[in-house]
Structure formats: C-alpha cells, structure tokens
Structure 1
Amino acid sequence: MSHDDANMDCSQALYRMMEYVDGEMTPEDTQALREHLSGCAPCLAERDIDQVLRQIVQRSCACEPAPPRLRATIMQRITTICDDGSWSEVTQVRHITEG
C-alpha cells in the first residue's frame, strides 16, 4: 500500500494484518486499516483470529527464551552492521558455525 493511499482493499489489509496487530504500522497506515475494518466483516474476523493467535503464542512462549543460535540467525537475517557502523538489510543468509 502506498503510504498516501487512504483506501485499503482486502488483499492489502490481509497482507498487513499482523503488522497491524503487532502495532508496527505508521499512524496513517493504522488509520487506513482501521477504516477498512470498520466496513469489512471478513477482514475484521481475520483481525480477531490474528489477535487471538498472537496472544496464544505470546503466552505459550513467554517462559522459554529462544535458543542463542536461533536468535543469532534471525538477527543476522534481519540486519548487519556495515563498516561505517550503520545498519542495512542482509541480502544473503549467513550460516552460524557451531562453537
């Protein structure tokens, strides 16, 4: 979805639903999705399911920390530190050797 496009269709709403449920959208995109949900029962139902799923996962995993190797792998796939100290997206998957 373009950030200046106030109208959101179902495919855009469903694609970005977890981002919405997790509170990771811009205020403008959040408002656009809220407006869509106010008039779309199927997407609203999907939002409810995603919220319950998020709560179940959060409850089920709250006691167990992720294994260090998994955490490191995820972080390497998300970001990497450049030589100048800035952050950029990882374009290749790196393998962590066991040590």
Structure 2
Amino acid sequence: MTNPLLKGLRPTHPGEILREDVLPALGISKSKAASDLRISRQQLYDILGEKKPVTPQMAHRIGKLTGTSPELWAAMQMRYDLATQVPEELDLIPAREAA
C-alpha cells in the first residue's frame, strides 16, 4: 500500500541523506568523511552528488562511520533503484498466477 501523501514525490537517493543530514550532523567535512571511509574524495562526491549508488561494500563503510547498519543504507539504495529503474516494457509483461 502506498502512502497517498508521498504520491508524486521523487525517491531519495542515500547520497542526498548523507550530504544533507548525516555529514552535517556528524560535523565532518566531505574530505574528512572520504578519508575516514578510506575512499577517494571523487568516489564520495559521486555518491553525494547522486551519480553513483551506495554499493554493499559502501553500505558497510557508511554504516560503520555513522554508527548505523549497512542494511539501512543498502535498503535506501534498493528503494531508490526500484523507484527509478522501472523497465519501459514492464506494462507488456503479463502477470501470471500459479495454478
């Protein structure tokens, strides 16, 4: 069941949450976050800029840095991907039910 209040809103990329909420709350710069995550600044900037996904490996790194679970970050990415990567021909695929 879909929440009608959320209808029409675009899904949130986990990079946006990291950029807008988490890093400011932690009080660390993007450069420091990249260093702490043991990744290049460009890798982090691509995630924060919503150009790259949070991979399972990155979910582990972000979870460790933020004191959250990797499942949280992976689930956010999965929800984003499912909402934004719908195949064009989906309506042409029949829905079958087991007998």
What range describes the TM-score normalised by the shorter chain of this pair?
under 0.3
TM-score normalized by the length of structure 1: 0.26
Greater fraction of residues in strand = 1
Greater fraction of residues in helix = 2
Higher relative CO (Cα under 8 Å, sequence separation at least 6) belongs to: 2
